[in-house]
Amino acid sequence: MEESSKAYVHSISGAGRLLPSADRWNSIEVDFGLIPTSSYSKEASPLMYTKSYDFRLSVQDKSHLKRFIYIFISLILVAAAAALLTALLPRKHAGGGSLSGLPLALDNALLFFDAQKSGFLPKSNPVKFRGNSGLHDGEWKQDNTSLVGGFYDSGNNIKFSFTTAYAITLLSWTVIEYSHKYAAFGQLEHVMDIIKWGSDYLLKLLITSTSSSEPESLFSQERGANDDDKVDNDIACWQRPEDMTYPRPVFKCKSSTADLAGEIIAALAAASLVFDQEDANYSTRLAQTSQTLYEFATKNHIKGTYSEDKDCGVQAANLYNSSSYKDELVWGATWLFLATGNLTYLSYATENFEAAVEEALPSDTGVFYWNNKVAANAVLLTRLRYLRDPGNPYEPTLKTCSDMANMIICSYLSTPNKFSMTPGGLIILQPNKSAPLHFAATAAFLSKIYGDYLNIINIPGASCGSEFFSRERLQNFARSQVNYMLGDNPMKMSYLVGFGDHFPEHVHHRAASIPWDGHNYSCSQGKRWRDAKESNPNVLLGAVVAGPDEDEGFLDIRNRPEYTEPTIAGNAGVVAALVALVDEPITPTTNGVIGGMDRDKIFSKINS
């Protein structure tokens, strides 16, 4: 039997080429004419195919064939090199604020916390320009304790207990409400790791009496600088955390710590709900420590803010000057009630809520951030009233909270509203402060989560006076603020580093601005990188910088932190807004999950 020079091929829609076929059915017979034709008659063949064609290939000039082969191989090599280069170069992610990019933005925003970790970093830490640092934190003079771990606050190398606790409270709240969303996008384990990194550190901050196990004070700040410091320190030095060799004294509050205690109470209580199913022992430890600290803060009638006490640290007063303390104690009591079901804590929260409102700065009305928890507390207690109403004697305060929540939302949406908007659409919640994006993020989060609460009870919207707002308006407002951050703004700038084609490249951040090249750089050497005009050698993926000014101008300058510095408190708000807005690929409607929100988890410790 003679060899055949024919082959059978078929095409696949979208493949753009012919592929070999195992048989003749639904294929094309190709005869290249390379082998002499058989004398066997085609007519004698038992089957005839209408899709049969003969092709004859002859080589007239071998030099042309060689040239063709060389060109063909060169094209393959160029394509392979391009593919490899694409894989190795830093990715410019889809931006423009498109909702299709929110899962990626959420992933990036969480990565910023990995870049801020202090202590012994696991080998799996995804930020490769960071290493172990602060390994002797807590070892200072008479204080010989371990304060290794936690997060560096921002572009400096200071660890603030207050903002760490705030960030952990907020992240925990998002996991309790939206754990199904985190899981759907593969981020649940990641965000829980971030929370545990922070809660592990917070557990170390209680200073107990030598004669009893009762707490007597709190660590508030790790390093920084005293007014009379003449030596190298975190403020004077521009140095990677891994290169620090200067002393790192700790600061502990001796007189007024009510606000700091309240925020840590809230963080530990909220985190206990996060780990309730995954690690019951750890969850119990968090809740019990939170209760111990609550007893310390309320029974001893501790008053005042931690930033009033110079022993708490100079930078605490300079950078995070707390203006009140009752809102944190009420915030902590609310979360302790949710974490334990103990009505004693709900009584404290409802009996002191009005006092917290009165103590807050007028300029903070409707603003949720590290210094003011009233707005968030009103929304959280409104959830309790709507879905698990405990009735009297709590009802009057809960009614006040739901009315306040409606007024807060109206202040974001109304035209004209309480807050001004830039021409590009960014809400200005604190006109005299920088970092407008961080305030806008928490406003977006409160708007969206409140809309989700309304969705659970199947209410189309709410009103304040004659003003009605639908759930759709809530979502649209939240989306507009997030879209602005991600590039839908006059600068066409994504303020989330690494997201989109145009983002800040000179972020005010020590570790990101100094090359990770195996060399240690001293304080004086580091200033070279601080003042350099070149882009940061390390992309601080996921950091949300402070953002534009009120005129929507932005200076991408490393030494202008009012534009280019990120913080863990700010990023926590952005993560909250992103996970609230992102849509699940498939939204379950069973087991108490409605619209991506877990209806019942937050009430799991409360008896029906």
H runs (alpha helix) in 116-187? 161-184
Tell me the helices (H) and strands (E) count for the chain, helix number first. Answer: 17, 16
Q: Nearest 5°: CA angle at 197, between 192 and 199?
A: 90
pTM, to two decimals: 0.82
Catalytic residue among 137, 243, 276, 565: 565
Share the mean pLDDT of the chain: 83
φ/ψ of 140, rounded to 5, equals: -150, 115
Paired strand residues for 218: 206, 253
Which one, of 576, 584, 311, lies nearest residue 450 by Cα? 576
Residue 456 predicted with pLDDT over 70 = yes
Question: Tell me, what's the pLDDT at 319?
Answer: 84
Catalytic residue among 309, 508, 552, 598: 508
Express each pLDDT in 565-607 by its tens digit: 999 999 999 999 999 999 877 655 567 888 899 999 999 999 8
Express each pLDDT in 122-163 by its tens digit: 999 999 999 999 998 888 666 668 899 999 999 999 999 999
Which one, of 245, 119, 172, 66, lies nearest residue 602 by Cα? 172
Identify the band that residue 321 occupies on the pLDDT scale cut at 50, 70 and 90: confident
Residue tagged 């700091």 (tokens): 260
Active site residue 177: no
Show the tokens assigned to 418. Answer: 């309480």
Question: Tell me, what's the pLDDT at 271?
Answer: 98
Question: Tell me, what's the pLDDT at 44?
Answer: 38
| Interatomic CA distance for residues 139 and 146, integer angstroms | 7
Which one, of 90, 127, 155, 108, lies nearest residue 486 by Cα? 108
H runs (alpha helix) in 248-325? 258-274, 280-299, 314-319
Residue 98 predicted with pLDDT over 50 = no
| Interatomic CA distance for residues 475 and 368, integer angstroms | 18
Question: Tell me, what's the pLDDT at 75?
Answer: 77
φ/ψ of 54, rounded to 5, equals: -105, 130
Catalytic residue among 505, 556, 562, 584: 556
Identify the band that residue 246 occupies on the pLDDT scale cut at 50, 70 and 90: confident
Among 163-177, 214-228, 417-431, the range of highest mean pLDDT:
163-177
Paired strand residues for 9: 20, 28
Active site residue 508: yes
Show the tokens assigned to 177. Answer: 């409400």
Express each pLDDT in 46-81 by its tens digit: 333 344 444 454 555 666 656 767 776 777 776 766
Express each pLDDT in 524-572 by its tens digit: 888 899 999 999 999 999 999 999 998 999 999 999 999 999 999 999 9
Express each pLDDT in 256-276 by its tens digit: 788 999 999 999 999 999 999
Express each pLDDT in 15-40 by its tens digit: 343 434 444 434 444 444 444 443 33
> For the residues 94-109, what does the mean pLDDT come to?
73
Whether the bond between 20 and the residue before it is cis, its omega within 30 degrees of 0, is no
- Tell me what percent of the residues of the chain surpass a pLDDT of 90: 62
Question: Tell me, what's the pLDDT at 58?
Answer: 54
| Interatomic CA distance for residues 337 and 345, integer angstroms | 5
| Interatomic CA distance for residues 568 and 574, integer angstroms | 10
Question: Tell me, what's the pLDDT at 235?
Answer: 74
Question: Tell me, what's the pLDDT at 92?
Answer: 42
Active site residue 565: yes
